[in-house]
Structure 1
Amino acid sequence: MKTGSKTNPAKFWILVWLLGLAGQLCWNIENQWFNTFVYAKIAKDPTIISWMLAISALATTVSTFLFGCISDRKGNRKTLISLGYIFWGVFTILFGTTEFLGKRNSDTAAFVGIAFAVIAADAIMSFFGSMGNDIGFNAWINDHMTPENSGSLGAALAVQPVIGTIAGTVLGGLLVGANDNYMRLFVVIGGSVIVLGLVSLFGMKDVETLRPSVKGSFGQQFFSIFNVKEYLKHRELVFVNLMLAVYFISFNVYFSHLGNFMIYYLGFTADTMGLIEGVGLLLAMFTSIPAIRFIRNDKSSLIILFAVVINAIGLLVIGLLVSPENVNPSTIWNPVLLIGVLLVGIGYILFLQTITVWSKRLYPEDARGQFEGIRIIFYVLIPMVVAPLISNPIIKNNGEIIDENGFTAYLPTNTLFLAGVVIVLLTLIPLWAANKAHK
């Protein structure tokens, strides 16, 4: 912890893990189960998912810039975390109620209205999630980051999405069950996030060295972050953020549809799908431990090079060697699929762990909240707007079927993973430039 902070170390790490895991669990529910929810309760159409990704990414970005500026001006992270988590949980539960609006039918106008309600509910949830987690929690973490604890914090922040994915997929599959009870899932997860929002309200403290950073009027400070010329002076950070964008364009091309690929294309049930992802990612998680030493020894570019290559190999394994003909949906024992998930998971963990620390080390101390906003542009907005432009036509051109009700439906196929390989390898270009700027 930084000099001047009297935060109890044990309490600090408990909050890091509780709030971090709750946030990642909630994001996993949105990124994975919201999409299978649409296929199960609304329609098997990737267009709805594409709009959900794009609109929620826009809501996340607006929220991040707005509350990033407020957080810096007020010198306060705690309030954003508490209120953000509480409303995040509330709107996660409310999202689930859209299933009572009905499924796809021959009335086009009614279907469009239902789709609009689903997209809007997702966007509102994302807005408050970004307020609590992307800005409040991440800026709070950054306030406490020192050279001594940066590797450990980077590992925690990288492992948490994986644990969230494991817990979210396994627990989510069990809660949804064979009868597609998505409402139960959203109530349990949303309720847990609300409780932790209340815990942070009474049990969290900001670092004592945090001070309000007021630079003119609110409007002047808010729009100052859009000074491109000033931002480009941070040359190394520019290339680090470009890496983030390219990698997560690839990630969102396939991951947003991974659940539907495994359930509706390969034939797994929701609980079996969760276990397969869980086993692979649980093993992959242990690679974050040796990576801490490499990060401390300034070998971040080497870790990211390895992460990108291993990620591409994993995607090739799934894209070329996994199909409905060579999997057994009745069991988790599908070695080729498990190897593919493991390799993708290793790449994802190492990349996120390393780039998180790399970027945070480069933030100006008096504008960390706003620079988290810039990070969200590259981490969320660009990938979630660009990725559907790639994945949607791929699914519609390769996965068209006629469902049990006689409607045209579209299933994600292996082609998504092959597209992901091509894009993820492009990450090596900004990696080279970032490494050069760093040296």
Structure 2
Amino acid sequence: GGVIGLFLMKDKEGIKPNKSNSFFNDFTYSLKPSTIKQNKMLYVCLSGYMIASIGYQVYINYLFNIVEGTLKIKNYIIPVGIIMVLAAVGSVLIGIAMDKKGKQNFYYPTIIAGVIGCIIIWSAKFFVDKNATAEIIVLIIGGTLTIGVNLVMAGLFTASYRDYIPDGKEGLFQGCRIVMYVLVPMIIGPVVAQIIINAANRGVASENIVYPMELFLGCAVVLLFCFIPSRIVRVEGAKHHDELMKELQNEVKD
């Protein structure tokens, strides 16, 4: 993709390099306290998906171990493949609906769907060695909701975050985005998971340790904290939208 882009992608005419800033200044721009203070809403949006990503990291590293070892589903490729396809297609359809109906209508339902999905997939444990068909159905339904919600949350908060990027500073917040979307979740998520794993396997010999379904309940608890940035983004986002529309209308009049 990168090689093809070298030949197909062209810079906009008139773009000139900014030689007044050094690489270090650009690199640290989004991490400066003054930048954070001036762009509070941008960081609120980033924190929303950061929390969702922490929840995702609680279980995703152990997903195949859970399906094959804990749920004892040996032929797991097909159900896991179905989950991934349904989650991807569903997130695209929800994305189209968000464009038509507005992002503000999807924050709370998405979080609730994620929590419900985690509870559903957790309940698959009650069908182990009892009803294999029901177990797989529960896994697919819960897994589709859980994985799909993570994709939708990425779209929701990333789209909102872009609304608050100052003009001319578009590329200077990517480092902070990666820190909050990837680095922080990949540290905190596995720590939370390890606490749950240790609690579930207390007194169990190392060779008998299993990855508990309670990892999904841990994810559900983490997702509840998404309500905090979601509420802020919904309220402030509506105000910001109205301000942008007024500016646009004034430009049209001029």
Confirm or deny a common fold (TM above 0.5): yes
**Paired position in structure 1 for 2:230:** 431
Pair 1:236 & 2:33 matched: no
Does the Cα contact within 8 Å between 1:285 and 1:346 map onto a contact in 2? yes
Whole-Å separation in 2 of the counterparts to 1:327 and 1:212: 64
Whole-Å separation in 1 of the counterparts to 2:196 and 2:20: 47
For residue 166 of structure 2, the aligned residue among 354, 364, 367 is: 364
Does the Cα contact within 8 Å between 2:94 and 2:152 map onto a contact in 1? no
Q: 1:413 to 1:229 in 2, by over 3 A?
A: same
RMSD: 2.5
Equivalences for 1:330-349 in 2 at 5 Å? 334-349=136-151
Does the Cα contact within 8 Å between 2:71 and 2:124 map onto a contact in 1? no
For residue 112 of structure 2, the aligned residue among 298, 303, 309 is: 309
Whole-Å separation in 2 of the counterparts to 1:382 and 1:230: 20
Q: 1:228 to 1:296 in 2, by over 3 A?
A: farther
**Paired position in structure 2 for 1:195:** none
Whole-Å separation in 1 of the counterparts to 2:172 and 2:131: 46
Q: Which runs of 5+ in 1 are unaligned?
A: 1-18, 20-81, 83-197
Whole-Å separation in 2 of the counterparts to 1:363 and 1:250: 26
Equivalences for 1:7-22 in 2 at 5 Å? 19=1
For residue 294 of structure 1, the aligned residue among 91, 98, 106 is: 98
TM-score, length-normalised on structure 2? 0.80
Pair 1:258 & 2:63 matched: yes
User: Secondary structure of the equivalent of 2:31?
Assistant: coil
Question: How many aligned residue pairs are there?
Answer: 234
Letter of the 1:429 partner, please give it.
I
Whole-Å separation in 2 of the counterparts to 1:437 and 1:366: 22
Whole-Å separation in 2 of the counterparts to 1:327 and 1:240: 42
Whole-Å separation in 1 of the counterparts to 2:112 and 2:160: 19
**Paired position in structure 1 for 2:81:** 278
For residue 187 of structure 2, the aligned residue among 382, 385, 398 is: 385
**Paired position in structure 1 for 2:9:** 205
Does the Cα contact within 8 Å between 1:310 and 1:346 map onto a contact in 2? no
Whole-Å separation in 2 of the counterparts to 1:218 and 1:346: 37
User: Secondary structure of the equivalent of 1:268?
Assistant: coil
Higher relative contact order (CA 8 A, sep 6+): 2
TM-score, length-normalised on structure 1? 0.49
Whole-Å separation in 2 of the counterparts to 1:316 and 1:247: 16
**Paired position in structure 1 for 2:196:** 394
- Offset of residue 242 of structure 1: 1.2
- Offset of residue 326 of structure 1: 4.1
Of the structure 1 ranges 207-216 and 389-398, higher mean CA displacement relative to structure 2 is found in 207-216
Does the Cα contact within 8 Å between 2:53 and 2:150 map onto a contact in 1? no
